[in-house]
Structure 1
Amino acid sequence: MSSQPTSIVNAEYFAALTRRVEGMKSCEELNAFTAELSTSLTATIDAITAQMAFLQPVLALLTAPGANPDQIVTWITDFITAFLTPYVRPYTVYAQQLVEMTAEIANLSDAIQTAAAAIPNCSVSIPLPLASE
């Protein structure tokens, strides 16, 4: 059995990106990297958001109706517990993943700005998703 990661987001991936940024010496290289990174991170966040939107309606089904005969209530409760709940579990993971990615993106954005400041006459536009939030 493979071990599960301890974090929802691969922090080492973001650390490696930051190390790459810190090693860049030209504004052109930094701008190209930032544009490529923005496209990749936007696609990832869009995919997570789409999955969360897909799962959102299922969340309403996690509450059993009341005032029904005991057998029906028991069946509905079992259906929710055994069938619906496993389908909703990824929603929680996606929500946590967005929070962690937002923090990592902010750190990476700071590293890009720091690297740009160290290069004479360098200005980098950071279109990273959520970087300004």
Structure 2
Amino acid sequence: MPGQGSIPFNAEVFAQLRRQIDSVSTGVQLQQITTQAMGSLNGVTAGITSQIAALQPILALLQPPAANPAEIVTWINKLITGFIEPYTKPAVTLPIQIAQLTTEVGLLTASIQAAAARLGEAVEIPSVEIPVFPDPPQPPTGP
């Protein structure tokens, strides 16, 4: 996922597509390039639309609540769901990815070693440092 506000836009891709359009010699080529160009544009606009949608809950937090307890509670709930929760999603996905990565490193190493043995060759296998996901902080206990 691109960082917030950093949707990649490469104008050179579209300049290249225009050059290709200018040099087509058949309708089939023109259709292929047209489909590719419009698909690229739709991809960029989908990315921008997604980022705008992600920003909406955060932008709503720019309006502080009135001195009304109900509005303050609502604002805090929006802060949690619109700002804090999205940042915690990696806490769910990263441990799973680390486990999958650990498995794949083992399988890949075994395959390399088996191929090296079959070929009678020595192969240096660089080490892979598996990231460690930190334990969540524990709530304070007692007064």
TM-score bracket relative to the smaller structure:
0.3 to 0.5
Determine which structure has greater relative contact order: mean sequence separation of CA pairs < 8 Å that are 6+ residues apart, divided by chain length. 1
Find the structure with the greater CA-based Rg.
2
TM-score (norm. length: structure 1): 0.39
Greater helix fraction, Structure 1 or Structure 2: 1
